[in-house]
Amino acid sequence: MCLSVATARSTSIRTGYLFVLPALLLLLAVLGFPALWSLGLSFRAEGRDGFSLEQYRLLLEDSLFHQTFWNTGLLVGLSVAAHLGLGLAVALPLNLPLRGQATLRLVALLPWVVPDVVAGIIWKWLYNPLNGALNDVLVRLGLLTTPLDWLGAGHLPLVSVILANVWRGFPFVMLILLAGLQAIPRERYEAASIDGANALQRFRHITLPGLRKMLVVSLALDTVWEVRRFGLIQAMTQGGPGNLTEVLSTLVYKQYFAFFRFEYASAIAVVMAAVLLIVSLPYIRMISQEE
């Protein structure tokens, strides 16, 4: 009796492994292997065999890498902050029982739905200094006296890329927060109202705590996606002009496919991967242990 329970359990463990195994092997082959290859490559000096920290030393000295790291930090930090702010600002009214609510929710999602490249190209054309719509609108509204060269020179190109990125990415956060809002039981608000809490107090003491998990989820996922963001920037500026809008992903791409510095490119990519894993580790633990 005891024996058969034990065998049943071990068969069931084996069956579990068997279900997971094909996907696991496939993933190790298509992803694990090249990832380790990149890692190994990053510890090689160019044209020499054997372990070397040469590439990482170069990274520390490379002012372009520093600039790019800073650009990426700025892009990610400002985009994610704006996504959370705008996402919450749009999710709150969309959670109210309004006429046209369903349509508005769909509309709000659109920028996030189209491919990265498409979003990038549309904004590149909006930003066009001569024929673009943005200058035209702003001049007509009297907000600008002379047209701006949005992707031209100085700090403006990076700001412009970030603004396009805000538009592109806020709907995702909005969607997650909306789901969070809908999960807060309405009774809590009613009880608070009866107790005489005003709107602001209800927001602070019911909405925000109720949204905590969703805020963490959207913060983690959005940060990861913004660090990896490639298509939008590649389509808009290719990191240019000069390296004014260079981010880590476009820099790695250039080091690989324009300069053929495979070892150096790998080192940058490994730094990126390390940052991403560290940022997402709390999220990964929270999700995979939650049962």
Partner 1 sequence: MPASDDRPERAGVRGGEGQRARAKERRVGPWLFRALVYGFLLVMAIYVLFPFAWMLSTALKTESEALAIPPTWIPRTPTLDSVIGIWVRKNFALYFFNSTVVSLATALLSVFFGSLAGYGFSRFRFPGRQFLMGFFLATQMLPGVLLVGPYFKMLNAVGLYDTRTGLVIAFLTICLPFATWTMKGFIDGVPVEMDEAALVDGCNRLSVFFRVILPVLGPAMVASILFAFLLAWGDLLWALCLTTSEGMITVTLGIARTVGEFRIIWPMLMAGSLLGGLPAILLYLFLQRFLVAGLTAGALKD
Residues 267-286 that bind partner 1 (CB under 8 A): 269-270, 272-273, 276-277, 279-280, 283-285
Residue 148 tokens read as: 């701006």
Window 127 to 166, contacts with partner 1 (CB under 8 A): 130-133, 136, 139
Which of 31, 53, 153, 191 is in the footprint of partner 1 by CB under 8 A?
31
Alpha-carbon span 42 to 62, nearest angstrom: 15
Q: Which of 179, 288, 160 minimizes the C-alpha distance to 236?
A: 160
Rg (CA), the chain: 24
Give the residue ranges of DSSP H helices in 95-194.
Answer: 101-113, 116-126, 133-140, 156-183, 186-194
Q: Residue 185 or 209: which CB sits closer to partner 1? A: 185
- Min dist CB 204 to partner 1, Å, is 18
What is the C-alpha to C-alpha distance for residues 29 and 228, in angstroms, rounded to an integer?
Answer: 22
- Contact region with partner 1 (CB under 8 A), list: 49-57, 60-68, 151-159, 221-229: 221-229
Nearer to partner 1, 27 or 153 (CB): 27
Question: Contacts with partner 1 in 54-83 (CB under 8 A)?
Answer: none
The interface region with partner 1, picked from 17-25, 44-52, 60-68, 201-209 by CB under 8 A, is 17-25
The interface region with partner 1, picked from 44-52, 60-68, 153-161, 247-255 by CB under 8 A, is: 247-255
> Site map for partner 1, 89-128, x if CB under 8 A?
xx--xx-xxxx-xx-xxxxxxxx-xxxxxx--xxxxxx--
Closest residue by Cα to residue 252 from 124, 84, 64: 64
Angstrom distance (rounded) from CA 203 to CA 197: 10
* Residue 239 lies near partner 1 (rule: CB under 8 A): no
Site size toward partner 1, by CB under 8 A: 105
Q: By three-state DSSP, how is residue 184 classified? A: coil
In this chain, which of 23, 143, 200, 258 binds partner 1, going by CB under 8 A?
23
Residue (70 or 125) nearer to partner 1, CB: 125
At residue 94, φ and ψ (nearest 5 deg) are -75, -10
182 binds partner 1 (CB under 8 A): yes
Long-range CB pairs of 50-58 (<8 Å, 24+ gap) are 54/263, 55/263, 55/264, 55/266, 55/267, 56/267, 58/264, 58/267
Kindly state the tokens that stand for 177: 């927060």
CB 12 to partner 1: min, Å: 6
Options 19, 63, 145, 194; binder of partner 1; rule CB under 8 A: 19
Question: Is residue 49 a contact residue for partner 1 (CB under 8 A)?
Answer: no
Q: How is residue 95 annotated by DSSP?
A: T
Nearest approach, Cβ of 174 to partner 1 (angstroms)? 10
